[in-house]
Amino acid sequence: MAGISVIIPLYNKEKSIEQTVKSVLSQTYSEFELIIVNDGSTDKSVSIIRTIKDSRIRIVEQENKGPGAARNRGVQYAQADWIVFLDADDELLSDALAHFENIRNTFSTIDIFDCSSVVKRNGKTKLQENPIEGKINNNLKACFYGKIGPGSGHAMFRKSLLQQFQYDERLKRFEDAELIIRMLPHAKVYSSRVPTFQINSEYSSSSAKRDDITEDYVGHLSMKGKSFWGKMCVYRTYLENRELYPIEMRRLYPSWYYRYDLLLLYKLLNKFFK
């Protein structure tokens, strides 16, 4: 059985998917499977993948339902106990899976391993290094301050955790942020300064607003039942996006516009308590 399942949600990425897949197949660690969930692509993406002959590749087909649904579907098919998600326009660094396997064997009680990233832009690369090396004591506090943010390419998740906390399939934007805020209170997290993937900015599309805000996490914000730091993470998401949906968010969160106590607390936390 494979030690790690790599899951790529795929929708119309014919320009980048071959490069992404080859970055997985060229790993120094070989005990993995690669599950590509074709989310109803209409371009040549799938035909390009089929030209690559490797027994570790499995293609799963579904109608277009969005990246969250594709990731959930991939987890259903995964045979390994550990999951690494990868977007179809990014690349794993050659030692990524070897590093994940090494720290997993060293820290056996951890549920999420969050690593650093490399950003490639205009032919130049820049390291985005996690500020912490070690176990995280307060996951949501670390998330609020941007010290961790487990996501595709730079995080490995215990499969059982992803079975318990699935992506909200209604969401087409910030579905990963919604999941992480919901999942972090129930997980043990380790942060590593070692980079595991490269973001290819020339292929990446910006996270644009949705025509229908119900397809965006910011259309479903709630502080109900959350801890102090969970509420702060939600409030940060609200502040960072309220100008993107000025009419809709004022309608959905009218009282938040006048919560000057929250705004003052938010500013104090960012200024004095990092």
Rounded to an integer, the average pLDDT of 236-242 is 96
Domain ranges of the chain: 4-200, 213-272
- Mean pLDDT check: name the lowest of 1-5, 81-85, 91-95: 1-5
Beta bridge partners of 92: 197
Per-residue b/e over 37-47, b at no fewer than 16 CB within 10 Å? Answer: bbbebeeebbe
As a whole number of angstroms, the longest Cα–Cα distance in the chain is: 59
At residue 1, the pLDDT reads 67
At residue 42, the pLDDT reads 97
Give tens-digit pLDDT for 49-87.
999 999 999 999 999 999 999 999 999 999 999 999 999
DSSP symbol at 7: E
What is the value of pTM for the model shown? Answer: 0.94
Q: By the 8 A CB rule, do 216 and 173 touch?
A: yes
Give tens-digit pLDDT for 6-28.
999 999 999 999 999 999 999 99
Give tens-digit pLDDT for 184-207.
999 999 999 999 999 987 755 556
**Cα separation of 110 and 102, whole Å?**
12
**Cα separation of 18 and 6, whole Å?**
15
* Nearest to 49, CA basis, from 61, 40, 57, 41: 57
**Cα separation of 185 and 196, whole Å?**
24
At residue 205, the pLDDT reads 57
**Cα separation of 203 and 74, whole Å?**
23
Q: How does DSSP assign 199-268, residue by residue?
A: EETTTPPP-PPPSSGGGBGGGS---TT--HHHHHHHHHHHHHHTTTSHHHHHHH-GGGGG-HHHHHHHHH
Whether 260 has a pLDDT exceeding 70, the answer reads: yes
pLDDT confidence bin for 102, thresholds 50/70/90: very high
Give tens-digit pLDDT for 124-171.
889 999 999 999 999 999 999 999 999 999 999 999 999 999 999 999
Write down the mean pLDDT value for the chain. 95
Does CATH number 3.90.550.10 belong to domain 4-200?
A: yes
Residue type, 179: L
